Chains A and B, each alone.
Chain A
Amino acid sequence: MNLLLVGMNHRTAPVEVRERMNISEARLGAAVSDLVRREGILEGLIISTCNRIEVIASAPDQADGEPPLRQFLADYYQCDLNAYQSHFYWHRQQEAVRHLFRVASSLDSMLVGEPQILGQLKRAYAIAREAGALNGPLNEIVTQAFAVARKVRRETAIGTAAVSVSYAAVELAKKIFGDLAGKTIFVIGAGKMSELAAKHLLSSGASAIFVSNRTYDRAVELAAAFHGTAIRFEQLLDYVGKADIVISSTGAPHFVIEKPQVEKMLAARRNRPMFFVDIAVPRDIDPTVNELDNAFLYDIDDLEQVVDANKKQREREAVYAEEIVQQEVQKMMRRLASREVVPTIVALEERLNRIREGEVERHRSRLSSLTPEQREALDALTRGIVNKILHGPITELKSGAGHLEHRTLVQLIRKMFGVEE
């Protein structure tokens, strides 16, 4: 089997080109069916997301899958592929397997470690299966890609750190409070970012929410959306101390919350910790609040800093993930190679035994005078010769399984002994 992968991603192609090449999920089934119907293509899979398009195909041993694959792309996109040549990458055999494993494990993603790609890959897989485009070794490679992705996720911390500001706020809250169940949030000032952060916090288990805004109606509206309680802006400070997590994003030109006020709140809460997220510019909360024991204050720059650190953390984990992928690619290649060895050995044995039987048959008339014992001896003799001849190539086939040059060896042996594909 020849494996071939052609694709482009966010690094090799600008968004205009990726848009042009995008295949919507609704049309994916027809596209992949078209692909595998072509002469010289056995199986196929097409992944199309906003960051990448990947077309993977397998071709029979003797055939080169590239011409039909090129033709498919040219037909499908109705364009001259040469114009986009620089954006496409082509991978063959082991490199194609590696690329697929890396994509599935989110090592090739824009945000390394983000898990969305695995879901997209699974949908693409389901569509290709339904279209009958995956039913052989490629099917096995793709399902193995899922297993590799799971292994990477399980054995590395690649997907654990938050890489967006609002998730970083949730992550920090968890670092302070552990479980967020039963924790109360206070959102001061309505805004996109604070709403998003509040939503993430609530879905992570936080139970109650207060909302306050300079325009009370807006606070009521937002509180209703979150099943929370609206607080009048003038009464703000009476309630802030009841919340564990405070998200502030007012347009106020001065501090809304100051250090002595927080000090009082902490005393009233018997020093249970408080987490302040100040998304406002200019800032709403006096930065010296962070100096208080059991109070933690993060402004927008601090959150960005956490996100940056988390991204670096993921990159460090990616190095280890690459090692895992490398090992898995080797394993996969070995498995594929040994898959080809067994049928070859069987075919080889059959071929030589048929020759032997044919020859014995041909000389039957001249051997008719033999006693049964002698006939048996002759049988044993010819069988012995065949086995002696077979011994060398079979050992070679078995020991070589997994090596890169092995495929050529298999083909050579097949040719030498006249074994048909």
Chain B
Amino acid sequence: MDALADTVRKLSASSRRGYQNPYEAIEWPETLNREQWFTSPELISLYGTQWWDELSDAGRKLLSFWEAVNFYSLNIAGERFLMEGIAHRLYRPGWEDVAEYLHHFLDEENKHSVWFGTFCQRYAGKVYPDRKVAFPREFADGEEDFLFFAEVSVFEEIVDRYNVTMARDERLVSVARRINDNHHTEETRHLVFGRRIVAELWRQWVDRWPPEVVEGIRAHIAGFVTATWRDYYNPDAYRDAGLADPYAVARGAWDATAAHRDGVTRRALRPLVSAGVLP
């Protein structure tokens, strides 16, 4: 953990300088006209598919609203997992050097969930439920911590690509741009921390793990990438946008948009490749 100490100090100082009151950072209109863009069209899960082609302009904008609700909902689920994991590791023996930053991490993730949850509840009246279930399993020494931070890193790297694009997209309604922009600003620090801690934990443990554990970790990360992307193709959102047979749409869109996922995934996995975790 010594190698992380300097990074942790700098990130903590940056978090303190950029501290935001989550209840003042974003102005929330009383109501929102859904005939506007809430998600960049090119990032909508049906973009480029037959279902996209069949939608009217109003239908595409309505879908962009429900895709935003889905994006924010999957972020709430991801941040809940993250906050549980961070809280579990606060001041655990051996982790004292990073505790200062874990407090900021928790604080900032909680704020993000306030923004995402406020949008979903205020304008959609709901947060889409998370379909993930964790089964208990055995881990080698160090494996659970490593997988936790590797999953967090992959999840946040993918989300950040969407945040960066939508924060700059002037077609989007202001509140959607602000949410994405604020999230990206704070996630930038989390990404740095995630990359550093994943590399550090890998360096500490990889030579102590037998080959089957290393192989299992790589397979788990591949499975996590697939599971993460599945959440972006939510039949609930398609149903709310008025599409018929939303499950068939989800399956068809998944098959039709592999190239988009591959491009984002390649970039999101670069830190794990650089650290030697993935070949």
A binds B: no
Residues of A whose CB lies within 8 Å of any CB of B are none
